[in-house]
Structure 1
């Protein structure tokens, strides 16, 4: 499987360099831990029990519906280009839903689609699938929600519907979300996480966490700072981030980190400032009490002498 953004950029030199560097040490990592899956199965789906395979792109209908499916796929792959007016950072959907939303164990769209409408504790109401996608734009994309029935939401829903062809509804399909991750043996730690980040992550995401760009296009996304997801995003929970990282990162090296390393580096990533939660209640304390009352959220916590989230009201919302 190629990198989900590779075909979208005219220059691949930076991408090739990063992937080459990531491959260094892979043999050692697998030789050292016999519990890891075989190298032939190094992808997020390993160990999820997933048996469903979405249809290949060659089967997209050659009609008006097919055009909408393709638009949904394109939005997944390059959200700033195809849905830019709703995006407030440089991330694309594919950064959290790899292989254009097809990969089991990487929050695949087909597994999510068949489980909506559903109640969400995040906004305390039953959400349609379109409303769930609206949340992604508002939080993960740090943007604004496309209107219900808009071309953007219709395209993403059409693509998800098509990927889920043949799946029954209202079932917890194997491969949904990110694989479960055992609790860490030690409490997640900033210093250990920093060491993991510098050794395994910075080559792609840079030491500053700002991501890498080629010709103005995002090759590897920013993990914190103004161009990343905001405090309301799912990745703002370092538990969610740890599950994603363990199964999906470094890219192409699924499960090469230990669970402890995944927890530690997720903690380190989330211990950095990012855009304000758009549900801002006027103060960090009030916003944490309303939306971040969890041991897995660092919003409002003091890290390195700074209260995270203490950056004032949200911008551009």
Structure 2
């Protein structure tokens, strides 16, 4: 499948299978109540790196139960729309709310360095998630993307599809011990310009670098007729068939970091085609458009000091405007949130 601009937030996070950007650091910090007691420093985890695509060739697996489930997981990643999308014939299988594929964001079937790869996902889950302020499993992370990036509903934990996703991630994580760092996870660190993003400049960058694939109106290019469950050759970036406003990709700093490392088509993190300024402005232009709304985003980040400054939905706790959270400038917000967190951490528990 060709490299594509956005998807999900499927993961994480890994995001998040995401190594986080500077703007995301706060979202992975446990609340004071959930923070572990101080202990002797542990040995530094081994370091690994996302390998070349051929290192994850599923065709080499035997035709047994494990191999078949891994291959189905890869198929689900590349053609999510064909198996659990909103246009599939069986209404009971319509779990995704849009016609994106997981690989719309997790490029190269979840194996491209700094395109939110799933390599090593099994080594970092379960993990603390600031959005929920609790330890989350890999299955819960998958469903977070189903409900946000895919704008749909959660997969049953015992479904073949959930098992296939997780088994495919297990395959991509072979040989990586629990707790190991994997260079290339998530998106690269991104230094935001200390100014409000310029959507007018972003529109010109979009026209010059993005519109040929994603369309003048950001609607993408369909692979077949509407209703055919064939998805997109290039995905929509906004509108009703895109990710919803609760997705990680709807955060400007995350989107800018992803774009810088992966867009336009053919870009790699070590040979970017856009500058930080250009990625920042074009991301703002994309995110300035309407998209599906996720219910109950006010429940996200219950430990409010964990909330990333570019999470552009209320409540806000720093006194800044909604516009600043949506379009920046972010360095002042990051500094304010750091001070807030530091003050809260110093306050004795009652």
What TM-score, normalized by structure 2, do the two folds share?
0.67
C-alpha separation in 1, matches of 2:192 and 2:111: 27
- Report SS of the residue matched to 1:110: coil
Residue 271 of structure 1: how far off its partner (Å): 1.0
Q: How does 1:296-307 map to 2 (within 5 A)?
A: 296-299=310-313, 301=322
RMSD of aligned Cα (Å): 2.6
C-alpha separation in 1, matches of 2:303 and 2:323: 18
Aligned to 1:50: 49
Q: How does 1:1-317 map to 2 (within 5 A)?
A: 3=2, 50=49, 52-53=51-52, 54-84=55-85, 85-184=94-193, 186-216=195-225, 217-254=231-268, 255-279=272-296, 294-299=308-313, 301=322
Tell whether the 8 Å contact from 1:4 to 1:77 is kept in structure 2 after alignment: no
Label 1:99 to 1:238 Cα distance change in 2 as closer, same or farther (>3 A).
Answer: same
- Report SS of the residue matched to 1:86: coil
- Report SS of the residue matched to 1:126: strand
Figure out how many residues of one structure are paired with residues of the other and give that number.
Answer: 256
Label 1:235 to 1:272 Cα distance change in 2 as closer, same or farther (>3 A).
Answer: same
Aligned to 1:25: none
Structure 2: tracts of 5 or more residues without a match: 5-47, 86-93, 226-230, 315-321, 325-350
C-alpha separation in 2, matches of 1:289 and 1:192: 35
C-alpha separation in 1, matches of 2:172 and 2:214: 30
Residue 131 of structure 1: how far off its partner (Å): 0.7
Label 1:290 to 1:219 Cα distance change in 2 as closer, same or farther (>3 A).
Answer: farther
Residue 253 of structure 1: how far off its partner (Å): 2.5
Deviation by residue 1:269-291 (Cα, 9 ceiling, x = unmatched): 1111111123256xxxx999998
- Report SS of the residue matched to 1:109: coil
Label 1:258 to 1:185 Cα distance change in 2 as closer, same or farther (>3 A).
Answer: farther
C-alpha separation in 2, matches of 1:109 and 1:289: 26
Higher relative contact order (CA 8 A, sep 6+): 2
Tell whether the 8 Å contact from 2:209 to 2:264 is kept in structure 1 after alignment: yes
- Report SS of the residue matched to 2:139: helix
